[in-house]
């Protein structure tokens, strides 16, 4: 980071113990995989375009929570959200941790296409075993932008979006360190921004923000909720006190 715009869009600048948080979450995911082996599905040629599908014991139908990881479109993989599956399994829900190719090798447009294929693959696999209940698509940080794109594209049924500490206007990123691998210009950044997209096509939304998210993220979350409500859509804003951009994922019980 070299200046104020970089700091404003750097969640780690405002967070506590980022590496410890990510390591703790990854370890919890690995332990769950050992206890409750998921099905691994691949969708496409990119090795990162894959998912883990966790299915509760017993007969369906199962509601599905599919979740897209963050990492500013350039870091992490689907296993980063495996740890979330435990709380959904306990509620009798299936859980899919969706992966996608990363920048600079993969464009943001292709990432959202991969996530849509992953969601469809998870639903198809569940349907082979039983009927599928309500479908929630979640996303954290960059994953929230991708979740909005998948929902707006509309090829797969999505009943609700759960968007956590997301980026909804990509234009401010153009002049930051984040854009180096992304290569966005302002027109393309705007076209990829949920805030400027087809909001009327989105299902009901819960937008979760952490107290210690960057102020720019908090403002974007509020602006997005306001924009959805202004066109008659359903959007709830949930503010999680005491959390930062990374550990907020461990405190979703109150909103799910």
pLDDT at 255: 46
pLDDT at 4: 74
- CA of 234: how far to CAs of 54, 65, 91, 136, in Å? 29, 19, 24, 15
Q: What whole-number distance in Å separates Cα of residue 100 and Cα of residue 13?
A: 26
Domain ranges of the chain: 4-255
Q: Give the pTM.
A: 0.96
Please give the CATH superfamily to which domain 4-255 belongs.
Answer: Alpha/Beta hydrolase fold, catalytic domain (3.40.50.1820)
Residues 81-85: what's their mean pLDDT? 98
* Mean pLDDT rounded to a whole number for the chain: 95
* Residue 210, pLDDT above cutoff 90: yes
Q: Hey, is 201 helix, strand or coil? A: helix
């Amino acid at each position: 980071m070299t200046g104020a715009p970089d700091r404003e869009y750097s969640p780690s600048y405002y967070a506590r113990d980022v590496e410890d948080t990510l390591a703790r979450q990854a370890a919890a995911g690995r332990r769950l995989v050992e206890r409750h082996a998921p099905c691994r599905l691949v969708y496409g040629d990119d090795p990162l375009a894959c998912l883990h599908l966790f299915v509760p014991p017993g007969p369906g139908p199962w509601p599905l929570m599919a979740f897209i990881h963050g990492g500013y479109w350039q870091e992490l993989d689907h296993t980063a959200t495996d740890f979330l599956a435990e709380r959904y399994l306990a509620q009798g829900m299936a859980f899919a941790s969706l992966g996608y190719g990363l920048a600079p090798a993969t464009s943001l447009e292709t990432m959202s296409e991969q996530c849509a294929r992953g969601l469809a693959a998870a639903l198809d696999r569940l349907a082979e075993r039983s009927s599928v209940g309500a479908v929630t698509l979640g996303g954290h940080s960059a994953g929230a932008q991708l979740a909005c794109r998948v929902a707006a594209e509309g090829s797969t049924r999505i009943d609700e979006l759960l968007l956590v500490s997301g980026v909804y206007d990509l234009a401010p990123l153009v002049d930051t360190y984040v854009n180096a691998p992304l290569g966005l210009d302002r027109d393309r950044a705007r076209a990829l921004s949920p805030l400027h997209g087809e909001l009327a096509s989105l299902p009901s939304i819960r937008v979760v923000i952490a107290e210690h998210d960057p102020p720019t993220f908090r403002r974007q979350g509020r602006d997005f909720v306001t924009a959805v409500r202004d066109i008659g859509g359903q959007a709830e804003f949930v503010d999680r006190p005491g959390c930062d951009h990374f550990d907020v994922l461990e405190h979703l019980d109150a909103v799910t």
